[in-house]
Chains A and B, each alone.
Chain A
């Protein structure tokens, strides 16, 4: 049996080769399409259209890797290749980790998460492909008021389910008092939301500030022994 390091290296190699192939193919699509139609934009035209997005989304896309990789482990590769991270893959990862009672950062957690995310990606792609195939007959249903309303509330529904799971640790390690780390950042942002503006649309950008802030408070509380680690006997599932 391979060691953890050897297997991680294998996953990493597969992930990197996958990224190289997918990125090349993604850029090949507009290039071939543009060449065929003789409609390739010039570099200047591209920069004019891209500048806003580059400024806004590139730092966000980079920081997402550092924000989500600790939750996803070696599943990060397939997660980032298939996207829809916060609105689908993170809850799916937490669900699988909770089901198998894995410990954060362990190989077991990594493997179970990779399995769940890969399966989830295939399901979503299949559903999207069916959506494309059945675009015409499905349109009245998918654009009905009921379905549109329900789909607008996917994030609150996800967070309702996620919050409950977060109150307990899984695996052989219990981090006691971890919720305390989020109290001050939560109050601060809550006040901003009440008195300044609703931050919902800016949540992606705010993560860059809020996660380090939460970890900073966790560090202080850990030093003050307000957050403690307990290693427990793992139950057989």
Chain B
């Protein structure tokens, strides 16, 4: 048997992880195919759907870089395949490191010392990280259809409070995150304003000069511009 990192980077784990990821890609393709066909039935044109896909791909790349960086943060502690799985399926870049750290400290080990305590602790962490993040999927498994029906009926009566409630979920998200962001330091606040300014400016350019294709890339530009500006703001005020 090799060192800790030989084991956690073994071909067996790569194979197991690769199989799960392949299944998730197939599932995503199945969902995309069904949605595409249904959208055509509902009257959308192929050109409109291609616009959605192009805009989504471009807008996904920038935040995905942050997720890949999460992989680079986790790999020196947990090897490559396990973080690859955790960040590709259910997980989130913010949850995984915290969950691994909490599981390790509950066993009385610092995460950085994991290689010294043996592979059993690593397997235990694999289980703990999986259990912690799976609860949401179990709720969807058992109650997903009921929730769906509820949302459908909320949106049905166009004069009912259900419509207002649906719109207010996003407002609720904003009021939860915004106070912390606005008071979280100069760089955080300026990054937010840069991204908002780019969004507004590009929206105005689209309207004024009728460059409608540009609309598909507003989110991507705002994200890239906002994140790039954070480097400048950190240099100036950080």
Contact = CB atoms under 8 A, between A and B. Distances in A.
B169 A123 contact: no
8 contacts: A33-B12, A54-B131, A73-B151, A78-B28, A159-B195, A194-B183, A218-B161, A218-B168
B52 A54 contact: no
Contact of B141 (A19, A94, A114, A149): A19
B53 A26 contact: no
Question: Which residue, of B124, B156, B175, B187, has the highest number of chain A Cβ atoms within 10 A?
Answer: B175
Contacts of A48: 106-107
B112 interface: no
Contacts of B205: none
Nearest to B228: A150
Contacts of A49: 103-104, 106-107, 124-125, 128
A137 interface: no
Given A147-B65, A218-B168, A115 B36 contact: yes
B162 interface: yes
A80 B137 contact: yes
A135 B72 contact: yes
Nearest to A91: B219
Contacts of B17: 29
Contacts, number: 542
Nearest to A65: B139
A37 B123 CA distance: 10
Interface string A144-186: 0011111111111111111111100100110100110110011
B60 A120 contact: yes
A71 B170 contact: yes
Contact of A160 (B140, B179, B195): B195
B28 A64 contact: no
Interface residues of B, number: 154
A161 B223 contact: yes
B126 A159 contact: no
Contacts of B238: 149
B77 interface: no
Per DSSP, are chain B's interface residues mostly helix, strand or loop, or mixed? Answer: helix
Contacts of B215: 99
Question: Which residue, of A99, A106, A156, A214, has the highest number of chain B Cβ atoms within 10 A?
Answer: A156
B115 interface: no
A95 B55 contact: yes
Contacts of B23: 21-22, 25
B167 A104 contact: yes
A87 B17 CA distance: 23
A198 B195 contact: no
A124 B90 CA distance: 12
B123 A92 contact: no
Given A40-B123, A160-B194, A203 B42 contact: no
B236 interface: no
A65 B163 CA distance: 19
B211 interface: no
